[in-house]
Amino acid sequence: MSEPGSLLRSLSGRSTARNFHSHVINEIGAGVISGRYPIGTTLPNDAELMADFEVSRTVLREALKTLEAKGLLEARPKVGTKVAKKSRWNLYDPQVLAWHLDAPPDAEFLSGLHEVRRSLEPIAAAEVARRRTADQIRLMLYWIRQMETSLTSPQNFALADFELHRIVADAAHNPFIRALYGVIELAHAFAYQRLVDTPEEEVLVAILDKHKMLVERIEYGDEAGTRTAMLETIEHDRQIALRS
């Protein structure tokens, strides 16, 4: 799940891995995040993993290297490949974030996810309100209209919601804000996960109203109002996610 929006697109049905390499990465990566491969334990040896996944040693080793680069695993001479501590996990990696969606609930992780958004997105939104352009406003209004026309299609609504937040992140011209794409998308996935399976139009209407207010405050150049409106959208996402 590396392309922005791919996690939200998968909510209506998990897509299968495209090849053996990505399959092994997904299976072991998700297994680490879920606790199936507990922290501090050593993975089965290469022969066992090759048999389990029916792949060659080359495919397996490349997959393990990828997971090491994401901070989930660490290879130790004469010991094997161990599951790394959580403090080493790259939580800004889109795949690492995406694997948390199907993992057992983690209150600390969810709290941190929304705290990062509360800390940075309102700052970005206020900056956009200060120096917004007509083109940026047109794009935001376009995604508001997409949300309006997708009230009976929660997945499309979720994608439009996410794209609106992406525009705000881009318009802030801050590379560290852009690095939040994965965080923002995962927060949206937690909020919309249940709604995709069980649509509730009144919930979507409430989300839409908050985003309309956000765009209105940006359009008016109201920095303080924009900051407040963004905080309210984030808190609303958190409350919906907690209900799921």
Q: Does residue 164 surpass a pLDDT of 90?
A: yes
Average pLDDT over residues 165-171: 96
Q: What confidence score (pLDDT) does residue 15 get?
A: 56
Q: Does residue 244 surpass a pLDDT of 80?
A: no
> Do 174 and 213 fall within a single domain?
yes
Q: How many domains does the chain have?
A: 2
> Do 24 and 130 fall within a single domain?
no
Q: Indicate the residue among 88, 114, 145 that finishes a domain.
A: 88
The burial class, CB within 10 Å (0-12 / 13-18 / 19+), for 182 is buried
Coil, helix or strand at residue 20: helix
Q: Is residue 100 part of a domain?
A: no
Q: What confidence score (pLDDT) does residue 77 get?
A: 86
CATH number of the domain encompassing residue 196: 1.20.120.530
Q: How far apart are CA 158 and CA 151, in angstroms?
A: 10
The residue among 225 and 76 whose pLDDT is bigger is 225
The residue among 75 and 2 whose pLDDT is bigger is 75
Q: What confidence score (pLDDT) does residue 1 get?
A: 47
> Do 230 and 109 fall within a single domain?
yes
Sign of the C-alpha dihedral, residues 206, 208, 209, 213? positive
Q: Is residue 97 part of a domain?
A: no
The residue among 195 and 16 whose pLDDT is bigger is 195
How do residues 175-220 score in pLDDT, each as one tens digit? 999 889 999 999 999 999 989 988 899 999 999 999 999 999 999 9
> Do 140 and 222 fall within a single domain?
yes
Q: How far apart are CA 162 and CA 158, in angstroms?
A: 6
In the chain, the N- to C-terminal Cα span, in Å, equals 22
> Do 152 and 230 fall within a single domain?
yes
Which residue shows structure tokens 């996944």? Answer: 53
Q: Does residue 17 surpass a pLDDT of 60?
A: no
Closest CA to 172 of 133, 229, 216: 133
Q: What confidence score (pLDDT) does residue 101 get?
A: 93
Q: Is residue 170 part of a domain?
A: yes
Closest CA to 161 of 132, 192, 133, 202: 192
Q: Are 181 and 117 in contact (CB under 8 A)?
A: no
> Do 111 and 20 fall within a single domain?
no
Share of the chain above pLDDT 90, in %: 85
pTM recorded for the entire structure: 0.90
Q: How far apart are CA 232 and CA 238, in angstroms?
A: 10
Q: Is residue 18 part of a domain?
A: yes
Q: Is residue 225 part of a domain?
A: yes
> Do 224 and 113 fall within a single domain?
yes
* Region class of 64: left (phi > 0), else alpha (psi between -120 and 50), else beta: alpha
- Kindly provide the b/e burial profile for residues 34-43, where b requires at least 16 CB atoms within 10 angstroms of the residue's own CB: eeebeeeeeb
How do residues 18-71 score in pLDDT, each as one tens digit? 689 999 999 999 999 999 999 999 999 999 999 999 999 999 999 999 999 999
Coil, helix or strand at residue 74: strand
> Do 10 and 50 fall within a single domain?
yes
At 78, the pLDDT band (50, 70, 90 cuts) reads confident
> Do 117 and 84 fall within a single domain?
no
Q: What confidence score (pLDDT) does residue 105 get?
A: 84
Which residue range is the domain that position 29 belongs to?
6-88
Q: How far apart are CA 165 and CA 167, in angstroms?
A: 5
Give the mean pLDDT of the chain. Answer: 93
